[in-house]
C-alpha cells in the first residue's frame, strides 16, 4: 500500500510541477481582498477583532453547534467537519483571529478541552462493558499507533526528503485517534455499548502514547540520542500516575458526592477537584488525560461501585444540565479552534497529509478485521474501521517544534492540519454510510446471542446497533445487567 501511495504521490507532484503549481500557495486574490476589507472593519488594535465582532463569531459558533447537533441526530452525519470549516473561515480566510493569537491560546484551550471532554467520556462509560473489551482496545491502539507512525514516517522520508528522526516525530504526533472527537461521536452513534467503550478506551490510550512518545522524540532530536529505556519508564510512570490519581481521588470523592445529594454547587466542586487533579498529573509527568478519564469513570459508575465498597448512594440526577451545557460549549469551540490552526503553505504538504490519511484509513480496515472477532456486529466493525479522526493532541503537539526550534518546524502545522481535516472528513463520510447498515438480529451488547425463552427480538426494539430482547410483559428488558 505504501509503495502505491508513493508512486501516486510522484505522479501528483509531477502534475503540479508541470503546471507551475508546486511550492508556496496562498489564498486567491478575491479572498485576499475580502480578508483585507473585513480586517479593516473588524480589527481595531493588535491581531484580534473587536469584542462585538468576537461575540458575533461566538454566537455563530453556538448556533451552528446546536444546528449541527440536530442535523447529526437526524442524518447521522457528524457536524465536526462543518465546525472546522467555520474555523478556517474565521481565521485564515477572514482574518478575524490571526495565527499569532491562536498560537498563544493553544496550551490554555487545549488543557480545558482535554480535561472536560475526557471527564465527560469517563462519566458516560460503563465499567463492565469497558472491562469486557479492554483487550480489544489495547490491541487496536498499540497496533494502530505503530502502523500509523510507520506509514507517515516512511512517506515523509521518501516523499519530502525528511530525516528519519523528524519523519518519526511527524508520525508520532498523528499516530492515534483523537479522544476528544471519538468521545463526542460514540455518544451519538448506534453501536453496542461494548464497541462504544472499546473505541473510547482506544482513543484515550493513543492520545497518551502520542503525547509521551512525541516529547521523548523531541528530546532525542535535541540531544541526538534516543533511549528505549527512557521511553518505557516514561510510559509506565504516566500510566501509574493517571491510575493512582484517578482512583485515589475518584473513589473518595465518589463517596463525598453521595453526601452532597443534589446540593447547589456540587458540580462546581467536582470541577474544581478535576482542575486540581490536572495540575497534579502534569506535575508528576502525566498529560492529565488518563487521570480525568479514570476520575470520571469512578463518578459515572458510582451506583455499581457502591455495592463493591458497601456504602449507600442517593438517587442523584446523572444528567447534570450544567455539565451538559459546558461540555457542549467546549466541544463546539474546540472544533472551530482546530480550524483556526489551519496553515496554508507548500502544496506538497497538503498532498502528503491527505495521501497519508488515506493509507492510514486503508490499513485501519485490515487491523480491525484482524483484531475484532466475528461476534461484533457488522455496524460495530464498520464504525470501528472509519474511526480515525485526528484532533486535539495532534493540533497541540504540532505547535511545539516551533517553540523548541526543531528542524522543519514550520512544516508540522501545515501537514498536520491537512491530516486532521482529511481524517475527520473520512470519519464523517464513513459514519454516514454506516448508518445505512441494518442492525443485526439476535444481538445484545455487540455480541451474537441466541434468543431465550422469554421472547424473540422485536422489530423496532433497537438500541446501540443491536436489537433488544423483550420480557414476558412485552416491554424492553433493557441493557444487559440493568
Q: What is the pLDDT of residues 278-293, one digit of tens each?
A: 899 888 877 677 888 8
Mean pLDDT of the chain: 75
| Domains defined along the chain, listed by start | 2-434 (1.20.1530.20), 441-482 (no CATH)
CA pair distance 209, 172, nearest whole angstrom: 8
What is the predicted pLDDT for the residue at 174?
92
Higher pLDDT, 376 or 60: 376
Dihedral angle, C-alpha 25, 31, 37, 41, nearest 10 °: -100
Q: Which three cell numbers stand for residue 99?
A: 495565527
pLDDT, mean of residues 120-125: 78
Does pLDDT of 317 surpass 70? Answer: no
Does pLDDT of 394 surpass 70? Answer: yes
Q: What is the pLDDT of residues 399-448, one digit of tens each?
A: 788 778 888 888 888 888 889 889 988 998 888 888 777 766 544 444 44
Name the residue with cell 502534569: 282
Is 26 strand, coil or helix?
coil
Banded model confidence at residue 151, pLDDT cuts 50, 70, 90: very high
Q: What is the pLDDT of residues 207-236, one digit of tens each?
A: 888 888 888 888 888 877 777 777 778 788
Does pLDDT of 184 surpass 80? Answer: no
- Pair 376, 444: CB distance under 8 Å: no
What is the predicted pLDDT for the residue at 82?
76
Q: Hey, how many other C-beta atoms are within 10 angstroms of the C-beta on 279?
A: 11
Does pLDDT of 10 surpass 70? Answer: no
Q: Which three cell numbers stand for residue 80?
A: 465536526
Q: Hey, how many other C-beta atoms are within 10 angstroms of the C-beta on 275?
A: 15
CA pair distance 257, 381, nearest whole angstrom: 38
pTM of the model: 0.71
CA pair distance 132, 480, nearest whole angstrom: 13
Q: Which of 110, 116, 114 is closest to 270 using CA atoms?
A: 116
pLDDT, mean of residues 112-137: 82
Banded model confidence at residue 12, pLDDT cuts 50, 70, 90: very low
Higher pLDDT, 331 or 200: 200
What's the half-sphere exposure (Cβ side, CA atoms, 13 Å) at 280?
Answer: 18
Does pLDDT of 476 surpass 50? Answer: no
What is the predicted pLDDT for the residue at 300?
82
What is the predicted pLDDT for the residue at 464?
42
Q: What is the pLDDT of residues 159-175, one digit of tens each?
A: 889 999 999 999 999 99
Higher pLDDT, 18 or 339: 339
Q: Hey, how many other C-beta atoms are within 10 angstroms of the C-beta on 228?
A: 8
What is the predicted pLDDT for the residue at 30?
59
Amino acid at each position: 500500500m505504501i509503495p502505491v501511495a508513493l508512486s501516486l504521490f510522484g505522479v501528483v507532484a509531477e502534475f503540479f510541477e508541470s503546471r507551475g503549481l508546486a511550492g508556496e500557495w496562498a489564498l486567491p486574490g478575491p479572498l485576499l481582498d475580502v480578508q483585507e476589507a473585513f480586517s479593516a472593519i473588524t480589527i481595531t488594535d493588535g491581531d484580534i477583532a473587536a469584542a462585538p465582532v468576537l461575540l458575533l463569531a461566538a454566537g455563530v459558533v453556538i448556533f451552528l453547534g446546536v444546528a449541527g447537533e440536530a442535523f447529526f441526530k437526524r442524518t447521522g452525519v457528524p457536524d465536526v467537519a462543518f465546525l472546522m470549516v467555520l474555523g478556517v473561515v474565521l481565521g485564515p480566510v477572514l482574518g478575524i483571529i490571526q495565527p499569532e493569537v491562536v498560537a498563544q491560546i493553544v496550551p490554555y484551550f487545549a488543557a480545558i478541552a482535554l480535561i472536560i471532554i475526557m471527564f465527560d467520556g469517563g462519566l458516560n462509560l460503563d465499567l463492565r462493558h469497558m472491562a469486557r473489551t479492554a483487550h480489544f482496545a489495547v490491541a487496536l491502539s498499540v497496533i494502530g499507533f505503530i502502523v500509523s507512525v510507520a506509514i507517515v514516517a516512511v512517506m515523509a522520508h521518501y516523499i519530502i526528503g525528511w530525516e528519519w528522526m523528524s519523519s518519526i516525530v511527524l508520525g508520532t504526533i498523528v499516530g492515534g485517534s483523537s479522544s476528544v472527537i471519538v468521545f463526542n461521536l460514540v455518544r451519538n452513534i448506534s453501536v453496542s455499548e461494548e464497541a462504544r467503550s472499546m473505541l473510547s478506551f482506544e482513543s484515550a490510550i493513543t492520545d497518551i502514547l502520542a503525547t509521551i512518545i512525541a516529547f521523548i522524540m523531541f528530546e532525542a532530536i535535541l540531544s541526538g540520542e534516543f533511549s528505549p529505556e527512557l521511553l518505557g519508564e516514561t510510559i509506565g510512570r504516566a500510566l501509574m500516575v493517571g491510575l493512582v490519581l484517578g482512583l485515589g481521588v475518584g473513589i473518595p470523592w465518589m463517596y463525598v458526592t453521595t453526601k452532597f445529594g443534589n446540593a447547589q454547587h456540587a458540580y462546581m466542586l467536582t470541577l474544581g477537584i478535576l482542575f486540581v487533579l490536572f495540575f497534579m498529573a502534569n506535575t508528576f509527568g502525566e498529560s492529565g488525560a488518563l487521570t480525568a478519564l479514570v476520575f470520571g469513570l469512578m463518578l459515572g459508575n458510582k451506583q455499581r461501585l457502591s455495592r463493591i465498597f458497601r456504602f449507600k448512594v442517593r438517587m442523584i440526577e446523572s444528567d447534570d444540565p450544567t455539565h451538559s451545557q459546558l461540555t457542549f460549549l467546549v466541544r463546539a469551540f474546540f472544533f472551530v479552534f482546530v480550524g483556526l490552526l489551519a496553515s496554508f503553505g507548500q502544496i506538497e504538504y497538503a498532498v502528503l497529509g491527505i495521501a497519508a490519511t488515506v493509507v492510514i484509513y486503508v490499513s485501519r480496515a485490515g487491523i480491525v478485521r484482524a483484531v475484532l472477532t466475528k461476534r461484533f456486529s457488522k455496524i460495530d466493525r464498520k464504525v470501528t474501521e472509519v474511526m480515525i479522526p485526528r484532533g486535539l493532541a495532534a493540533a497541540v503537539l504540532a505547535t511545539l517544534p516551533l517553540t523548541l526550534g526543531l528542524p522543519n518546524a514550520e512544516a508540522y502545522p501545515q501537514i498536520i492540519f491537512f491530516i486532521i481535516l482529511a481524517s475527520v472528513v473520512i470519519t464523517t463520510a464513513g459514519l454516514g454510510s454506516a448508518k445505512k447498515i441494518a442492525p443485526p438480529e439476535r444481538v445484545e451488547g455487540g455480541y451474537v446471542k441466541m434468543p431465550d425463552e422469554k421472547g424473540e427480538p422485536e422489530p423496532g426494539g433497537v438500541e446501540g446497533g443491536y436489537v433488544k430482547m423483550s420480557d414476558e410483559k412485552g416491554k424492553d428488558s433493557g441493557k444487559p445487567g440493568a
